[in-house]
Structure 1
Amino acid sequence: MPDRRTVIAGLGVGAVAAAGGTAWHLRDPAMPGALGGADMARGHALRDGGFPPPSIEEQAGIVIAGGGVAGLSAGWALAEAGFDDFTLLELEDATGGNARAGRNATSAFPLGAHYLPVPNREAKALRALLTRLGMVVGEKNGAPLYDPYQLCADLQERLFYQGRWQEGLIPRRGLSETDEADLAAFAAAMAAFSARIGQDGRPAFAIPMAYSSRDADLLALDAISFAIWLDRQGWHSPVLRGHVRYCMRDDYGCEADQVSAWAGIHYFAGRRGWAADDAGDNELTWPEGNARLTTALSARIGKRIAPARIVHRVARDGGGVVVDSFDVARNATVRTRARAAIIAVPHFIAARIAPEAAPQAHGFGYAPWIVANVTVDRLPAGRGAKLAWDNVSWTSESLGYVVATHQGPAARAAGSVLTWYLPLSRMAPAAARRLMVERPLHDWQAMVRDDLLAMHPDLEGAIRAIHIWRWGHAMIRPVPNFLWTTAPAAAAAAQAPFFLAHSDLSGLSLFEEAHYRGQLAAEGAMAHLGHAFASML
């Protein structure tokens, strides 16, 4: 078997739900667990076509194609505005997109997205959602007051560096003068970008990103890679570069030389969480991750969700649209006639099923990820800082793990589920997706196990199960010239009665962006149909 570093360097998509089982040891030939992911059979059926002609017909005012965060947010916005004549069609058996979750006897756990930073002041629609969900409980001194039980508990982050755990994710021991100088200069530059207001009165870097300044010198940052921008500043500290690499892989699934400088700076300068009691730099998180949010969105529109429906054609039909979807349960194609369609699927799929709305998908690329959920009999130990919610090793190719039971009373339990993340950023995405299909479960498990034991030798004999979840198209890759050239052109191509809604139109795979795109599409569709509503944007 290749060594751990070689194996991990060639990986790319992660783990699933952990089930119960007995403890296994290093020499055990088989580990309890499962290999899961997005439904490849349905995805390939959509790619290959050959669906039967429609034999069932339905009517709806608006059809939403796709039940990820953007589609669910569109449905929520319609329902909140009193527009009830819509249906949401989802290929999978459950909604949620990459914010889905699993559960076992120990805990719920995320299969993908696992937190939401406290929103910026400009994210008005998202803050309204969080208020409706009871997560914003009032205000204090004019700022929103968050339910403390929704916020990440201490300790939030720690780093395994030079044999010890330290608080925070930037190394603070054994640094050279160059390291110290580059880290300080970088922090000052990011603080200046964060505070900057453009000539148009907008924040230089905002969330949602549509509220960002259009100053020419800022937009020009999208034309070069973040690595080139760092080179031009003369910052070559391996500590700074190592931290930047972690951050780019964490939010974008990409290396620093693969993302634009605008995207790279946005990671550090875009978040200015607005909250009372100094909670602005915190995250909202739950054992199941962002499935807490998508479950609430789904519940609001539940009766209008039609799962296991493979939308394979969206076309203009007179003044309205026609949507053909294959109903897996009925083994039949259903034709839905509607007045408008919200297409809330990744753009490469939208271009396939709705070429009138999305005539091309050139330049859209997606990062593959592996997520592993590891059930353990005891919490990890280690020298230095105490166990945190997010735990990262400086020398690992993985992004470390989050502790599903970190929040609330469950944090005192002996056992837990560790959700481990690995973007396959060293491989070409197509090659990584092939690896996901070809690599057997046991090899993935061995890789995850070895990585955890390198951080925590004390976990030997304490791992009960490792479940792997594969995300072949986990998130959009914000490569140079994508954010302010490719993505805006694609978004502008759709005209009523078609409305595109997906975070890849922002170029940033963030809950905030998907929610914004869903809200924007819903408001556009309601305006097209003449339905009165109060804009949240």
Structure 2
Amino acid sequence: MKADRRALLGLGAVAAAAAGGGLAYALGREAPLPGGALAGADMARGHRLRTGGFPAPSRFEDVDLVIAGGGVAGLSAGWRLADAGYDRFKLLELEDHVGGNARSGRNAISAYPLGAHYLPVANKEAKALQHLLRQLGMITGDRDGVPIYDSEQLCADMQERLFWQGRWQEGLIPRTGITAQDRKDLAAFEAAMAAFSKRIGADGRPAFAVPMAYSAGDADLLALDTLSFTAWLDARGWRSPVLRAHVRYAMRDDYGTEPDQVSAWAGVHYFAARRGWAADGVNDNELTWPEGNGRLTRRLAEFLPGKIAAGHIVHRVAREGSAVLVDSFDVATAATVRTRAGAAILAMPHFVAKRVCGEIADPPGFSYAPWLVANVTVDRLPEGRGVPLAWDNVSSTSNSLGYVVATHQGPDAITPATVLTWYLPLSDMPPEQARRLLVQRPADEWKRIVRDDLLAMHPDLEPAIRRIELWRWGHAMIRPTPGFLARGAAVTPAPPLFVAHSDLSGLSLFEEAHYHGVRAAEQAMALLGHPHESLL
């Protein structure tokens, strides 16, 4: 069960954990902070959409189809077009690099993720995703009709470990030191999630699927979206602090949101929707690489040679008769380009799409989770009592989500130096307040938090930390708060405008963004008269 692979049991503020365990504090002094930059999505370009003042168009071009946005959804739309033999399109991206929150970085030691860092083995219903994974060589064949995955791209052992009661243990659920009531509540919760996972709806669909568009529409299932996950747990009397910490980690892991603000439908989906379809017993594994999902976005971009125009701020999308006008500001030349197209796919977050296109509705409830990601270069691998270093390493006493080891995969795993990618969703305050904190808190303060959180787990690392590269995500992911299921359907414009983003699902998952990119591309091709066979 997915919960068993990602459940953190334990709470505590990052600063408190660091103060209790950081070696610098224990010695009554502060070690010098390592070097490293504070970076993130280009706020200046994004904020220009609010302030406006773009020059009138001075360059004009025509193309059949424009994709506005180069995250996973936009790249997936371009991949689907290219896969169908359609090449009369152009992709415009605000940043200098495509990839969205799946972007990656690199230093002399290793590549590393700046955001999303893995892709679970695909569900049976995810046919378009399986088609992509075959093209990328990640699915290498079939056995009795079941996909065979490339073992070198699946997460290697040891996959996960938890720092619990002073020792590292394999897996992310404690095996010692929990009460009989904890065990009872955990068992009841696991049984309920297993039942949801096996359930087939009245329409013949899985109760919970990935992509979620394939989920059943039974009324009692949809009713889960009317209350929070915490309220759903309360109604069942499952109050074990171990279970509640387990659920909290899970909700912050995928949604960057506290369980009392997550829709119960989304909460159950996390635990019940993953049914990886694969041979060789790897159903519950995931694909991962040193650069995380940057591997996927880079490979997607390789399908689009000559089609991507980075550094273009799309600031106006409007109809003109049966056509669409897309105005974008070319940062390099400081000129506005007007592109006239037969159709446009807006592959951008809702808060951007509604600003650039007046036809995008703005129902209440859309909100976004801010995150801080840190890539920490160390001279040697972390140590500690208990089981050896894993790919995913989580502490029961930290408010962070722990760290993944960039060099866990492949031959670089044996080198002493590595990069630890550390994650913190700022979920314990309103998103607006968290975004202000991301901007206003100095880099050195963030570095102290990151360093001291790592030292609370690994005091031995103090002399080994060389750099801490910080990356801020002000709008890292959509938050699936109660009522989210209806929001995506409410923002869909009429052709020749199409929207494609994981925001439409309310779940910021690669599979959701990929699905919406493929769907929008196929709808646009149908409108433009290009024959194709649907992958959905």
- Whether the TM-score (by the shorter chain) exceeds 0.5 is yes
Instruction: Name the CA distance, whole Å, in 2 between partners of 1:196 and 1:495.
Output: 35
The partner residue of 1:5 within 1, 13, 36 is: 13
Judge conservation of contact 1:193–1:205 (CA < 8 Å) in 2.
yes
Give matches, 1:454-465, under 5 Å.
Answer: 454-465=456-467
2:306 alignment partner, SS class: helix
Distance 1:178 1:398, change over 3 A: same
What is the one-letter code of the residue matched to 1:486? Answer: R
> Is residue 93 from structure 1 mapped to residue 96 from structure 2 by the alignment?
yes
Judge conservation of contact 1:376–1:465 (CA < 8 Å) in 2.
yes
Instruction: Name the CA distance, whole Å, in 1 between partners of 2:123 and 2:29.
Output: 46
**Counterpart position of 1:441:** 443
> Is residue 531 from structure 1 mapped to residue 530 from structure 2 by the alignment?
yes
Per the TM alignment, residue 8 of structure 1 is displaced from its structure 2 partner at its CA by: 7.8
1:302 alignment partner, SS class: coil
Instruction: Name the CA distance, whole Å, in 1 between partners of 2:358 and 2:513.
Output: 21
Number of residue equivalences: 515
What is the one-letter code of the residue matched to 1:206? Answer: A
> Is residue 320 from structure 1 mapped to residue 323 from structure 2 by the alignment?
yes
**Counterpart position of 2:3:** none
Give matches, 1:349-368, under 5 Å.
Answer: 349-356=352-359, 358-368=360-370
Give matches, 1:41-440, under 5 Å.
Answer: 41-356=44-359, 358-440=360-442
Judge conservation of contact 1:164–1:382 (CA < 8 Å) in 2.
yes
Judge conservation of contact 2:361–2:490 (CA < 8 Å) in 1.
no
**Counterpart position of 1:486:** 487
Instruction: Name the CA distance, whole Å, in 1 between partners of 2:490 and 2:307.
Output: 31
1:128 alignment partner, SS class: helix
Mark the runs of 5 or more structure 2 residues left unpaired by the alignment.
1-11, 18-27
**Counterpart position of 2:20:** none
**Counterpart position of 1:502:** 501
Using the TM superposition, name which of 137-146 and 508-517 deviates more: 137-146
What is the one-letter code of the residue matched to 2:488? Answer: A
Instruction: Name the CA distance, whole Å, in 1 between partners of 2:103 and 2:436.
Output: 23
Instruction: Name the CA distance, whole Å, in 2 between partners of 1:161 and 1:478.
Output: 30
Q: Percent identity?
A: 69
CA deviation vs aligned residue, 1:245-292 (integer Å, no higher than 9, x gap): 000000000001010100000000000000000111000000000010
Judge conservation of contact 1:31–1:442 (CA < 8 Å) in 2.
no
Per the TM alignment, residue 488 of structure 1 is displaced from its structure 2 partner at its CA by: 2.0
1:521 alignment partner, SS class: helix
Instruction: Name the CA distance, whole Å, in 2 between partners of 1:79 and 1:362.
Output: 36
Per the TM alignment, residue 362 of structure 1 is displaced from its structure 2 partner at its CA by: 2.5
Judge conservation of contact 2:33–2:448 (CA < 8 Å) in 1.
no
Instruction: Name the CA distance, whole Å, in 2 between partners of 1:122 and 1:443.
Output: 45
CA deviation vs aligned residue, 1:35-70 (integer Å, no higher than 9, x gap): 000001101111211100000001110000000000
What is the one-letter code of the residue matched to 1:507? Answer: G
**Counterpart position of 1:15:** none
Let me know the Cα RMSD of the aligned residues: 1.3
Judge conservation of contact 1:366–1:429 (CA < 8 Å) in 2.
yes
> Is residue 476 from structure 1 mapped to residue 475 from structure 2 by the alignment?
no
**Counterpart position of 1:518:** 517
Instruction: Name the CA distance, whole Å, in 2 between partners of 1:302 and 1:369.
Output: 32
The partner residue of 2:43 within 19, 40, 43 is: 40
With normalisation by structure 1, the TM-score equals: 0.95
2:35 alignment partner, SS class: coil
What is the one-letter code of the residue matched to 1:346? Answer: P
1:197 alignment partner, SS class: coil
Instruction: Name the CA distance, whole Å, in 2 between partners of 1:302 and 1:431.
Output: 41
Judge conservation of contact 2:374–2:469 (CA < 8 Å) in 1.
yes
Instruction: Name the CA distance, whole Å, in 2 between partners of 1:366 and 1:359.
Output: 17
Instruction: Name the CA distance, whole Å, in 1 between partners of 2:173 and 2:375.
Output: 25
Distance 1:290 1:26, change over 3 A: farther
What is the one-letter code of the residue matched to 2:198? Answer: A
CA deviation vs aligned residue, 1:106-135 (integer Å, no higher than 9, x gap): 000000000000010000000000000111
Judge conservation of contact 1:206–1:271 (CA < 8 Å) in 2.
yes
Instruction: Name the CA distance, whole Å, in 2 between partners of 1:223 and 1:509.
Output: 20
Segments ≥4 residues shifted beyond 4 Å: 6-9
With normalisation by structure 2, the TM-score equals: 0.95
Per the TM alignment, residue 173 of structure 1 is displaced from its structure 2 partner at its CA by: 0.8
2:157 alignment partner, SS class: coil
Per the TM alignment, residue 516 of structure 1 is displaced from its structure 2 partner at its CA by: 0.1
Instruction: Name the CA distance, whole Å, in 2 between partners of 1:104 and 1:116.
Output: 23
**Counterpart position of 2:6:** none
Judge conservation of contact 2:14–2:398 (CA < 8 Å) in 1.
no
What is the one-letter code of the residue matched to 2:529? Answer: G
Instruction: Name the CA distance, whole Å, in 1 between partners of 2:334 and 2:295.
Output: 32
Instruction: Name the CA distance, whole Å, in 1 between partners of 2:173 and 2:231.
Output: 21
1:461 alignment partner, SS class: helix
Instruction: Name the CA distance, whole Å, in 2 between partners of 1:26 and 1:82.
Output: 63
Instruction: Name the CA distance, whole Å, in 2 between partners of 1:527 and 1:161.
Output: 55
Instruction: Name the CA distance, whole Å, in 1 between partners of 2:368 and 2:281.
Output: 35
Judge conservation of contact 2:33–2:447 (CA < 8 Å) in 1.
no
What is the one-letter code of the residue matched to 1:487? Answer: G
